Amino acid sequence: MIKIRLNNYQKAFNEYNIDRLSESLDNYIIREVRLVPLNNVGIIIEGKFNETEKRELIKKIHNYYKEKANYYDGIDKYDHVFRFILFLIGAILIILSYFFQNIISEVILIAGWVIIWEVIYDILFTNVKRKRKKYLYVKLSNCKITFEKENKNE
């Protein structure tokens, strides 16, 4: 569980857009969630809030991370098409290299393999990092959020 101590309802949000979490709160949540098992993600907010503020805070935190997860969905859809096109270009260049008999053949062959390697690298490394982030955002968009009264003794 991630503990957040909020003295003021407004401090949870971006000063320019009330529908977005503040950058410092977002960074804190992301940093802390990496220390918690993902099957036990939850947020405990300490502070004095009325029922309307509690509902709004829960809704805005969930929506904020849903938007981030949806953003990564969009990138994934775009990347699949882009990777496919790059793979085809690489394969075409490799095939074309066999029709030439000079240095151009070698350059086209190398270019084809470099393009295919970039596609493979993107699938193996970049895509894995992005999927991990998206999974984290999905967990946060559905996590249980509870409230506790602020403890003045600490």
The first and second tokens of residue 13, run together, are: 């949000």
The first and second tokens of residue 109, run together, are: 């062959």
Indicate whether 138 pLDDT > 70: yes
* Mean pLDDT value across the chain: 85
- The dihedral built from the CA positions of residue 121, 125, 130 and 131, taken in this order, carries a sign that is positive
Q: Where are the alpha helices (DSSP H) in 6-150?
A: 23-33, 51-97, 103-121, 127-141
pTM over 0.85: no
Indicate whether 143 pLDDT > 90: no
What pLDDT band is residue 154 in, cutting at 50, 70 and 90? very low
Average pLDDT value for residue range 3-9:
80
Average pLDDT value for residue range 33-50:
80
The first and second tokens of residue 42, run together, are: 């939850």
Average pLDDT value for residue range 28-56:
83
Give dist(CA 102, CA 4) in Å, integer.
66
Give dist(CA 97, CA 76) in Å, integer.
31
Per-residue pLDDT reduced to its tens digit, 102-121: 888 899 999 999 999 999 99
**What is residue 80's predicted lDDT score, i.e. its pLDDT?**
85
Per-residue pLDDT reduced to its tens digit, 56-76: 888 988 999 899 999 988 888
What pLDDT band is residue 150 in, cutting at 50, 70 and 90? low
Give dist(CA 54, CA 85) in Å, integer.
47
The first and second tokens of residue 47, run together, are: 């502070």
What pLDDT band is residue 24 in, cutting at 50, 70 and 90? confident
